[in-house]
Structures are given as C-alpha cells and as structure tokens.
Amino acid sequence: MQLHKYDVVIVGAGGAGMRAAIESGQRARTAVLTKIYPTRSHTGAAQGGMCAALANVEEDNWEWHTFDTIKGGDYLVDQDAAEVMAKEAIDAVLDLEKMGLPFNRTPEGRIDQRRFGGHTRDHGKSPVRRACYAADRTGHMILQTLYQNCVKHNVEFFNEYYVLDLVMTEVDGKPRPSGVVTYDLATGEVHVFQAKSIVFASGGCGKIFKTTSNAHTLTGDGMAIAFRNGLPLEDMEFVQFHPTGLAGLGILVSEAARGEGGILRNSEGERFMERYAPTIKDLAPRDIVARSMANEVREGRGCGPNKDYVLLDLTHLEPEHIDAKLPDITEFARTYLGVEPYTEPVPVFPTAHYAMGGIPTNIDAEVYRNSEETVPGLYAAGEVACVSVHGSNRLGTNSLLDINVFGKRAGIKAAEYAATADFLPVPEDAAQPTQDLLDLMRNGKGDQKVAVLRKELQDVMDADMQVFRTADTIHNALDKIADLQERYKHIQIQDQGKRFNLDLLEAVELGFLLELAKVMSVAALHREESRGGHFREDFPNRDDDKFMKHSMAYLDEGAETDSVAGIRLETKPVIFTRYEPMERKY
C-alpha cells in the first residue's frame, strides 16, 4: 500500500471537480483523483446551455432567476442557496469566458443567450433568454476549457484512480475525514491519500436505471461511499426523467427539438399531448410530458415491435430549419436508430437524466453529518451533492451553473480550511475494508454474474421506480433489490489479473448501485405525495403540510423505515427566505 499526502484531495474531474481544482490548486497542494480521464467526464455530454442573468439580449436579473429556480423545484429548494447560485451565475459565466470558453456571440460580440424551459422574466410573465451556450455542445466546451486551465495551472491529476472509500478518524468523539482509499486501475494497487480537506465531485448515479442519458461510469460512487461511512443522503427519491431519450438507448434529444416545433405522437398518429396539456401541449414541463408518454405506452398506444415507445415527429419542419437548429439530434437519430428525421418520426421514451438528491451540503459546499451540523474538512459539489438548489425538479441549464458556482466555492473553502488545519492521523489499517471488499469480489466462487444482476436491477427500476410510482410498485422494487443484494454475495468474476481489471470494478460499482437503489426506493415509499420528479399515483397531490421538507437517509443496521430494515429516514427543514410556496402552474 502506498501513502500520499496532499492538503486537498478532490474526487472527480468533471465540471465540478476541475472548477474546484482551479481554485484549490492555486492556494494549496492539491491532487485530483478520477476514475476516467478528465476530458471523458459526462459534463462533456451536456448540450443546451448554462444560464445566468447577464441581460445581454434582454432585460433580466438574478432575482427573477432565483424565483424560477425555486418554482421549478416545486418549492423544495433551499432559497438561500438558490439566491447564491443566481447571483454568482454572472461571474461564473464571465470567469469561463475569460478562461477561454468560446461562447456563441451576439452581433455586437457579446455572449449570446437563448431560451430554455422554465426560465422567465418577472416571475413567470414570459420566457426570457438566459441560457449562455456554445453551439449545441456547451458542456463539451466547459469541460475542455476547465481542463485547459488545469493544464495551465499544473493541477496534479491521478487518472484512472478509483476512490472506493473514505477514511474517517475520530476527533473528540466525532468522525472526521482524514483521507481516501483508491484503486489504481493500471496496476491494481491500492493507495491511500491522506488529506486535510476532501472534496467529492464524483457526479450522478443514472446507471441505477436501464434507460438513461448518463454514461456507463455514472454509478453513484461518491454518494454510496458517503452513505457507507454514516453520512446522510438527501432527497434521493427525486430523479429527473427527461421526456425524449432515443428509444431503447436513452441518448438525450434536447428539449430544443420540441421548442423548434417537434410533436409527440402515439401509434395511432395522434398528437396525444393535446389531451394532457391542452394549452401548452408538447411544451409542458418535463415531468408532465414524461408521464403522458409513459401513459400512452401503458394504455397500449406505444409504437414499434414491442409497443414500448412513442414518436417525435419533425417531418413537418423544413429540412434546412432542422439542420440549422437541431444538427446534433438529427445526427444521433441517424447514427443510432437509422432514422431519417426529415421523413420519419424518431422513436423516443423518457430517460433517467439527473439526480436532484445527493450528499447534503450548505452554501459553502460543507457536508452535513446530520440536519444541523457539518463535518469539518469535508466538501461536495456538483451532481453528487444536494445543496439544494434543484429541490424536487431541476430546471434545464441550472446544473452546468451549479457545478461552476459550487465547484468554485468548494475549491476555495477546501483550500482555506487546509491552510488552518493539521493532518489527522490515518489509521494503520485504513485500507483494510477496501482490501477485504476487493478480495471478496476476486475470490467469490458463487454462480451469480455481475452483468445479470445489474440488468435485473435496471429493469426493475425502470418498471417500478420510473415516472409512475405507487406503494405497490415501490415494494416490488424493494423486494427485488433485497433479492439482488443477497445474490450479490455470491458473485463470481472472471478476470483475476491486476492490470486494468474493469471486471472487478464493475462488481464494486454494482454494490454502489444496489445500495443507492434501496435508499431511493425507501425515500420514495415514505414520501406519500407527488412533487416535481417524484410522482405517486396513489398520492397525486403535493402535500406541503406533511412533506415540505428534505428527506435524510442514513445507513443504520438496527433501524426500520416503513418496515424496510437497514435505513433510518430523518428530515431537514427547507430554507425559506422570501418566496411563499404556490401551486406550480405554467
């Protein structure tokens, strides 16, 4: 086992991790550990844009942006955090421009801005142009620009180092982070990184589901590691399902397709959104459109050999218009489905897109150990974290913003803390639990296969925990997860080598997925209301009296929540500053 010592260790090199590294790297000795090369991170897949009330093309201000964020999140947003994000959005965009990001420009040469769902002027009066963008690859340009600036500042990366555990050292009776345990993919060696500050920026967990816009590598590692170390996970029941993923694949077709006039149709050729949202039809909020689509399929009006998707019809649009406005989408449809969008409708179905929940933090990215108290030296930012700026439903373009604003804050805070703190001792046997876990996986002689268990998990989560949930479906998912967790103890992997043993790591990742699926399901079972991304058919209304609060899930062997053993569910109050909850109407 090798030991390294850094002031600050950052786990993850997506947008949040690299934004943190740029700040921290200039203030303290910093290492960034990442399981894939930085430029492979899924931030690069984001298409639409990053919003900020720059008011470059029309009147706008950060206060309107704050309101839209809170309303979009169905009032489960912590309003202090939303204010910080909307206010600092302007500098976040200008910072990126100064670092070199090639934004699209207005005729005057300023950063151009465009519309995106839910962003309005003057508290919902009309749509506003708030999203800054770089063609249809804003996320790609953010990721590249941040990486370029990390190269400029000589940030130290440890590429293909999988963080598998957090080391906690007891101080005055309370556990505090003293380092992380990592697995070097190239050699199979386990390394311990001792650090004064640790920042989790390890992204989302979309691979819990079968149909997802997320990368294969988004297995919720950071969330699961925090959870296993006794830290809470906040609001895990809230997942955003984007209406238009390419059928069977989940690859995202941006909201812009419907914005430009695309129409959803069922197997009878019917424009079914006319029945569900008579006024705004296909442009209703993401959660409503996704549910309507799923309902058409459920009632037998799906398309294709298995009648399991609907169609996005662009055929009435001029080919030149499609080429000018939707080049990426049409290319994906051609490449992956062999469908020509000029003349044929594109098969689509809702796709698991974004985890609103995660490791709870305050506005300084400090991680909560319970509903009141933070853990000195531990930070989280980006999709892995729950600040909570997205509440129960994230607005488009607010995540690229989130990773920049809170990534920066995390980097500064982590470095400042490291300047005042001492290293905590790392116990001799800090890597032992990880070694044991790896040995267990390597030496398993059972008859269960990782790929089979993972597929069964993803299938049941798509069937029972997607856009429609009831107590029955959630119980069904929980039973299946329990069965899978049992079978997980009897897996066998084939690769016994040390070099690039991805077979082994897929087994570890499956353990994370199973754990998080359980947390997600228990929290969903307990929340007997419908809000934002969480829709309970047996409780179709929002219930502010009982549920205007964040859920906080803890690993607790002895506990029981709604007769499910092993998880303790507590709550944390929502922070209100100036907006009273109203009905979310568009």
Partner 1 sequence: MTTQEKEAAEPASKVDLPGESGGGGEIPTYNLTLKVRRYNPEVSEEAHWEDYELEMFGTDRVLDALHKVKWEIDGSLSFRRSCAHGVCGSDAMRINGRNRLACKTLLKDLDLSKPVTVEAIKGLPCEKDLIVDMEPFFQSYREIMPFLMNEGHEPERERYQSQEDRDRFDDTTKCILCAACTSSCPVFWTDGQYFGPAAIVNAHRFIFDSRDDAGDLRLEILNDKEGVWRCRTTFNCTEACPRGIQVTKAIAEVKQAVLARAF
Binding to ligand FAD in span 36-55, by CB under 6 A? 36, 41-43, 45-50
- Which of 493, 562, 571, 586: binder of partner 1 (CB under 8 A)? 493
16 is in the binding site of which of partner 1, ligand FAD, none (Cβ under 5 to 8 A by kind)? Answer: ligand FAD
Q: Token pair of 565, please? A: 């053993």
Among residues 222 and 302, whose Cβ is nearest to ligand FAD?
A: 222
**Alpha-carbon distances of 417 from 36, 170, 364, 366, rounded to whole Å:** 28, 18, 12, 11
Judge whether 37 is annotated as a binding position. yes
Question: Does the footprint of partner 1 cover residue 546 (CB under 8 A)?
Answer: no
Judge whether 34 is annotated as a binding position. yes
Question: Does the footprint of ligand FAD cover residue 232 (CB under 6 A)?
Answer: no
Site for ligand FAD in 70-99 (CB under 6 A): none
Site for partner 1 in 352-411 (CB under 8 A): none
- Which of 63, 344, 416, 543: binder of partner 1 (CB under 8 A)? 344
Q: Among 219-227, 373-381, 497-505, 565-573, which window interacts with partner 1 (CB under 8 A)? A: 497-505
8 A C-beta contact, residue 101 and residue 292: no
120 is in the binding site of which of partner 1, ligand FAD, none (Cβ under 5 to 8 A by kind)? Answer: none
Contacts of residue 429, Cβ cutoff 8 Å, sequence gap at least 6: none
Compute how many residues bind partner 1; rule: CB under 8 A: 82
Residue reference for tokens 């001492």: 422
Question: Does the footprint of partner 1 cover residue 490 (CB under 8 A)?
Answer: no
SS3 of 496, please? coil
> Closest by alpha carbon to 362, among 68, 18, 85, 51?
85
Question: Does the footprint of partner 1 cover residue 265 (CB under 8 A)?
Answer: yes
Alpha-carbon span 512 to 517, nearest angstrom: 9
Work out how close the CB of 466 gets to ligand FAD at its nearest, in angstroms, rounded to a whole number.
Answer: 16
> Closest by alpha carbon to 386, among 535, 525, 233, 532?
233
Judge whether 359 is annotated as a binding position. no
SS3 of 126, please? strand
Name the active-site residue from 19, 115, 286, 536. 286
Question: Does the footprint of ligand FAD cover residue 11 (CB under 6 A)?
Answer: yes
Residue type, 507: A
Question: Does the footprint of partner 1 cover residue 222 (CB under 8 A)?
Answer: no
355 is in the binding site of which of ligand FAD, partner 1, none (Cβ under 5 to 8 A by kind)? Answer: none
Site for ligand FAD in 185-204 (CB under 6 A): 201-203
Question: Does the footprint of partner 1 cover residue 278 (CB under 8 A)?
Answer: no
Judge whether 39 is annotated as a binding position. yes
Question: Does the footprint of partner 1 cover residue 126 (CB under 8 A)?
Answer: no
Question: Does the footprint of ligand FAD cover residue 521 (CB under 6 A)?
Answer: no
Work out how close the CB of 116 gets to ligand FAD at its nearest, in angstroms, rounded to a whole number.
Answer: 8
Is 286 annotated in the active site? Answer: yes
Alpha-carbon span 257 to 327, nearest angstrom: 10
Site string for ligand FAD, 340-359 (x = CB under 6 A): --------------x-----
Return the ∠ at Cα 567 (arms to 563 and 573), rounded to 5°: 105
**Alpha-carbon distances of 546 from 392, 528, 552, rounded to whole Å:** 15, 9, 15
Alpha-carbon span 390 to 76, nearest angstrom: 8
Report the Cα 104 to chain-centroid distance in Å. Answer: 26
Question: Does the footprint of partner 1 cover residue 151 (CB under 8 A)?
Answer: yes
Phi (first) and psi of residue 349, to 5 degrees: -155, 150
Alpha-carbon span 365 to 403, nearest angstrom: 11
- Which of 105, 174, 298, 489: binder of partner 1 (CB under 8 A)? 105
Work out how close the CB of 317 gets to partner 1 at its nearest, in angstroms, rounded to a whole number.
Answer: 8
Alpha-carbon span 208 to 217, nearest angstrom: 11
Site for partner 1 in 22-41 (CB under 8 A): 36-37, 39-41
Alpha-carbon span 39 to 143, nearest angstrom: 6
Judge whether 254 is annotated as a binding position. yes
Phi (first) and psi of residue 155, to 5 degrees: -65, 140
- Which of 7, 8, 12, 88: binder of ligand FAD (CB under 6 A)? 12
Among residues 155 and 192, whose Cβ is nearest to partner 1?
A: 155
Alpha-carbon span 537 to 529, nearest angstrom: 9
Question: Does the footprint of ligand FAD cover residue 406 (CB under 6 A)?
Answer: no
Among residues 299 and 373, whose Cβ is nearest to partner 1?
A: 299
> Closest by alpha carbon to 532, among 584, 485, 569?
584
Residue reference for tokens 């009905």: 583
According to DSSP, the residues that pair with 157 across neighbouring strands are 32
Alpha-carbon span 511 to 505, nearest angstrom: 10
Judge whether 45 is annotated as a binding position. yes
Judge whether 399 is annotated as a binding position. yes
Judge whether 36 is annotated as a binding position. yes
Beta-strand runs (E) in 16-89: 30-34, 50-51
Question: Does the footprint of partner 1 cover residue 280 (CB under 8 A)?
Answer: no
Alpha-carbon span 282 to 271, nearest angstrom: 9
Residue type, 462: D
Judge whether 38 is annotated as a binding position. yes
Alpha-carbon span 1 to 83, nearest angstrom: 45
Return the ∠ at Cα 33 (arms to 30 and 34), rounded to 5°: 145
Site for ligand FAD in 269-298 (CB under 6 A): none
Work out how close the CB of 380 gets to ligand FAD at its nearest, in angstroms, rounded to a whole number.
Answer: 9
Among residues 507 and 564, whose Cβ is nearest to ligand FAD?
A: 507
Q: List the binding residues for FAD.
A: 12-17, 34-49, 221, 383, 399-400
Which residues carry a binding-site annotation for substrate?
242, 254, 353, 394
Interface residues with ligand FAD (CB under 6 A) are: 11-17, 33-36, 41-43, 45-50, 138-139, 162-163, 201-203, 213-214, 218, 221-222, 252, 354, 382-384, 396-400, 403
Task: Provide the annotated binding site.
Answer: 12-17, 34-49, 221, 242, 254, 353, 383, 394, 399-400
Which residues are catalytically annotated? 286
